[in-house]
Structure 1
Amino acid sequence: MEFPHSPEKIREMMRGAPETDQVLRSVESFPSRFRALAPRFARRNKRDTDRGPFPLCHLDLYHNNVIIDDNNFDVLAIIDWETACTLPLELVQFPRFLDLMPPRLCRTEAYDADGQLYDEYGRQQLRERSEYLQMVQEHEAVQQKTGAGGDSTLSACLSDKFTQDMSYIFSAFKNGKMGIYDNVLDDLEKELARDGDL
């Protein structure tokens, strides 16, 4: 996996921001750090990474790619599958319209002293993610109760901070979003150490 922008392009886009060198170092080290952390992260989730499951992931799941019946709001189709792939569960994320940048990838001034977003749009995203997670949990419960199978794997992935942070930065890196990826990876390493996995 390569970052789609050259160091020269990153410097140009950063326009002399004080964190430019830190972003460059972080972008350069991300693939190898991610690769080293991935097996330990999967063990944290108590999964055999060689056996899956590897769910199908639609990498462009926005509102405009979901066709809805106007009368009863049933999903009729999902379109635009050319970037679809299978991914490990550790990279399952909310639909793209509920994307939210991990706090440690943002500038610190985006958050108040209590770690709450200043931005009303971000706070609304958090509320909508919570509602979405609740709907997933309710659906999982119905599936289990009616004997239709299923478990709570999806809601567990969506409610796990580190799973969501890692899925976001993986996608952001692939799409060329600049940030200090090391901050998120540092947090994950601390979590793994706390879990006794290192």
Structure 2
Amino acid sequence: MVCDATRRWDIPALTLSRPSRISSSSSAWLKVNMQSADSLDATRLVSDGAKPARSAAGFGRLTILDCPSTRQTFKNGPIRQSLLLPMDRLNWKSDIGQEPSIPHIDWDALKQYAISIKCAQSQNTAHPPKCEIPPIYSMGGVHLVRLLVFEDDTKWVARIQLHQETQYSKSLLLSEKDTLSIVQEQTDIPVPRVIGYDECQERIGRAFMIMDFIPGSTAMNAFGGPQIHGGEIPLHHKAKFHSDIAHIQATMTSIRFPKIGMITLRANGSYDIDPIPGLGGPFETAQDYFMAWADNAKFPMGETTIRSQLPSHMADEIILSIQEFPFRLKDAARALPLSKGPFPLHHPDFYHSNVIIDDAYNILSIIDWEGALTVPWEAVEFPAFLYTVPPPIDLPSKYDCDGYPLNPVIQNRWEERQDYIQSVKKAERQRGLGCELSTVLASPKIQNLATSIRLYSEDGKVGYYCRLLDTC
């Protein structure tokens, strides 16, 4: 496939009507595959309040650039102190030449591409600005992140795919761009601005996206990070933060389409739904979606591995439950409520590591929209910082005779979920929305189903999955 080199840097036009609190010259996002301190062991039945880490096949997490303490220089002079960025919260490296997994990238071509965008924005091609890439980088499982620094204080971030382009990777990149576009156009949710992109690898050696720099920190890494607070939101900020997130989620789900799939921007300027890579579609009903999921579902671990991690008296039932779950879900899908559209937009990793805040815990941006899509209401979950293991798939010994958790941390999480539902209801009233989001969040059956489906295929959590269907 030959990529059109003339259409990819005229992206700022997509953001002219952007109703965001972030100035167009001060936002950014990074793709960093962080090993979170609150990761769950996917081979254990656990019920602590932490959100499971994504599987190795996932997309990693996003976090914000902070600042280098060392000076770098342009080829024609020093970088001003105002261009220096803090770096104390990321595991930045400077040995890019020693990293064997980094593909060959034409860095000069990347700089020239960025300069061409800057010239187009200013309509000044006679005096192109200087741009440098400091000798620092951050890398996750699927992306490499580099900083682009201009002499006029502008800072951009290039997120570069590590692997060869595929149709799957192209679809994700293009849909993420279009999802950010519709969110900017139709809501007041603050999201990153796409500066430029190329879903093909011919230009610099890999597909990439350039975005603005956001001067903030993720809610996960703020105030000392997980090492200090274990990833928990500080108590004195929690109520306001949950309320703000509730408004954002209610607004997000107000973007709806008659079909389930990935958002795409057509040539005529209208938005539409494309198939989901690896699953199919677009789907017109929830039943169609869940049956396709069941046909394609694969548990990440084999029977031998699962059996080696379980007590012998539990292994047979759990393994059978894991094996039969997709088939039983397919049979049960036809009876699901809310089976027809319109279907809401879903952020696939709605976690506070993907929420950028300022020092007062005000939300500046929601990041990491890769893989966002419209979904059945039965797939909509609480934000991931309110995650709990669905009781039906968990160990019964972790609950009392009334099904209430014995762990005080989970008890508190359940209470926080109820408070969050009230915040969602308030947001729905204030914004004149329906009550669909608060209804599905308040339904234990729907939440147990949505979370279990994600845990099954994405995280490979061992559990009694068929018991979930026995309660539906």
Query: 2:447 maps to what in 1?
Result: 164
Partners in 1 of 2:385 and 2:456 — Cα distance? 18
- Map 1:11-30 → 2, pairs under 5 A: 11-14=307-310, 16-30=311-325
C-alpha RMSD of matched pairs (Å): 1.5
Judge conservation of contact 2:346–2:374 (CA < 8 Å) in 1. yes
Question: Kindly tell me: are residues 17 and 77 of structure 1, through their superposed partners in 2, closer, same or farther at Cα, counting changes over 3 Å?
Answer: farther
* 2:358 aligned with 1:69: yes
The one-letter amino acid paired with 2:471 is: D
Partners in 2 of 1:82 and 1:172 — Cα distance? 18
Q: 1:33 aligns with which of 328, 332, 340?
A: 328
Query: 1:192 maps to what in 2?
Result: none
Judge conservation of contact 1:133–1:155 (CA < 8 Å) in 2. yes
Partners in 2 of 1:88 and 1:161 — Cα distance? 16
1:42-80 CA-partner distances (Å, limit 9, x unpaired):
3xxxx343xx22222222221111012334x44221112
The one-letter amino acid paired with 1:31 is: P
1:5 to partner: Cα distance: 0.8
* 2:382 aligned with 1:98: no
Query: 1:130 maps to what in 2?
Result: 418
Partners in 1 of 2:358 and 2:333 — Cα distance? 40
Aligned residues between the structures: 175
* 2:404 aligned with 1:116: yes
Q: Which runs of 5+ in 1 are unaligned?
A: 145-149, 189-198
Judge conservation of contact 2:339–2:376 (CA < 8 Å) in 1. no
TM-score (norm. length: structure 2): 0.36
* 2:377 aligned with 1:89: yes
Partners in 1 of 2:419 and 2:404 — Cα distance? 18
Partners in 1 of 2:372 and 2:312 — Cα distance? 35
1:122-141 CA-partner distances (Å, limit 9, x unpaired):
00100110111110001111
SS at match of 2:365: strand
SS at match of 2:441: helix
Query: 1:8 maps to what in 2?
Result: 304
1:102 to partner: Cα distance: 1.9
Partners in 2 of 1:184 and 1:114 — Cα distance? 16
TM-score (norm. length: structure 1): 0.82
Query: 2:466 maps to what in 1?
Result: 182
Partners in 1 of 2:312 and 2:407 — Cα distance? 22
Specify the structure having the higher radius of gyration (Cα): 2
Partners in 2 of 1:84 and 1:55 — Cα distance? 11
SS at match of 2:356: strand
Judge conservation of contact 1:53–1:89 (CA < 8 Å) in 2. no
The one-letter amino acid paired with 2:298 is: E
Partners in 1 of 2:312 and 2:469 — Cα distance? 22
1:143-180 CA-partner distances (Å, limit 9, x unpaired):
22xxxxx1111000100111101011111111200101
> 4+ residue runs of structure 1 moved beyond 3 angstroms?
none
Judge conservation of contact 1:30–1:182 (CA < 8 Å) in 2. yes
1:81 to partner: Cα distance: 2.2
Judge conservation of contact 2:381–2:447 (CA < 8 Å) in 1. yes
Point out the structure with the larger helix share. Answer: 1
Q: 1 or 2 for the larger relative contact order (CA 8 Å, sep ≥6)? A: 1
Question: Kindly tell me: are residues 125 and 65 of structure 1, through their superposed partners in 2, closer, same or farther at Cα, counting changes over 3 Å?
Answer: same
Partners in 1 of 2:404 and 2:325 — Cα distance? 27
Percent identity between matched residues is 35
Point out the structure with the larger strand share. Answer: 2
1:53-112 CA-partner distances (Å, limit 9, x unpaired):
2222222221111012334x4422111222323210111110111111222212111112
Partners in 2 of 1:18 and 1:6 — Cα distance? 18
Query: 2:234 maps to what in 1?
Result: none
Partners in 2 of 1:97 and 1:70 — Cα distance? 20
Partners in 1 of 2:339 and 2:389 — Cα distance? 28
SS at match of 1:19: helix
The one-letter amino acid paired with 1:4 is: P
Judge conservation of contact 1:102–1:165 (CA < 8 Å) in 2. yes
